Structure 1
Amino acid sequence: MDLSQFATDTPVIRHDGWNPERKIRFLDHLAAKGDVRRACAAAGMSHEAAYRLRRRDPLFGRGWNAALALSRESNAEVLRCRAIDGIEEDIWFRGEFVGTRVRHDSRLLLAHLARLDKVADQQQARHDAGRFDEILALILEEEAPEEFGETYGELPPDRTGFVADAARHAKAVVRWNWPDAEEDEDAEPLTPDEEWERDEDRRIEVEEACDEAAHDATLEATALWDEWFRRACGLVDDVLGRTPSTVSTSGGAAPAPTAAKPFGQASVSCPPAGGEDSAAYSDRS
């Protein structure tokens, strides 16, 4: 049966409201806090819709686990802060605010960290966390260079593996195409020592040619992979820099993003100690 009459160039719109931009906005916020509901609010999606997509989209699921592995560092910083400075809570009496108190109780966060540890201990999650921006770029339907081979929408080879494979392939091509030694039928037979010297000279010549080819292939493969990574990061930064959409999904209306108190606590007054990590922590808050 000819189905060409039904063909269309119009992109398919997901019935559940997810699009590539919402996906990476969700994953980016999840990587910062490890909080699914807050990430859903940032993406304008319900948490039910997020869990359904995780179940149905393998690449999104990989990004989810990688984001949780990345969030472990920021959550550990919150725990350190609470352990040292405590949590400032508002005190209300008969509907009136009467003051504040500092409470040292990080049990909820410790339990949360334990869950993140289980994710971070997964080898796949650790690997994907190191390539998080590439996963986001693939979710945005950015195509990897054809030199990476057929990836079927999955991550292309990592930098080390791709460069090493390129060098090995270049050496193999040189050896395969290297001409055999020509025999002169009119020449005097070579002595064993002369044959050994001839073969050794040929071996050295082949290895030098292989090393030169591998060097050139390494430079080319490195430049190609670095350009892919630069393009992937640039695309992600560009999309995340836009104003997010406020359209919710059929999975339930998502609440508007608010300054939610971390992990259900009343309030927190514990900025990290000064130093290099202070700015990074404030950026994630």
Structure 2
Amino acid sequence: MAESLAPPLPAFTPVPVRARRDGWTPARQLRFMEWLVETRSPARAARAVGMSKEGAYALRRRPDAASFAIAWDAALAQGKARSSGPSLYERGIKGVMVPYFYGGLQRGERRRHDDAALGKLLRIATRNAERAGRGRG
């Protein structure tokens, strides 16, 4: 998996499951979230960790999986923000280098953060969190 530009996933409590080597272990749940950011596809993320899409959705629907479901939505939001252009994340969070000039010559560069891009990232995250909250009525 390529190095991610996105911030780390929010901490989540893995769904407690019966210990099985081929099951949804806490480590497998974390890797699933990482792949979910990369692929924005629950089916592809599940396949990447050796599990089924149906199993992922069943795990998400469990009554004790609220933290997992919130992290799932956050992973999708991060993936979406990254896909709307790495530049959105770059401009809002990391900033971009902008040259500055004095006396007609470039004298250096400074990092400038784009507040509008940051606002858009926050709106995406907030909207996904609100949708997640409505889904658990």
TM range (shorter): 0.3 to 0.5
What is the TM-score of this pair, normalised by structure 2? 0.47
Higher strand content, 1 or 2: 2
Higher helix content, 1 or 2: 1
Of structures 1 and 2, the one with the larger relative CO (CA 8 A, separation 6+) is: 1
What is the TM-score of this pair, normalised by structure 1? 0.24
Larger Rg: 1
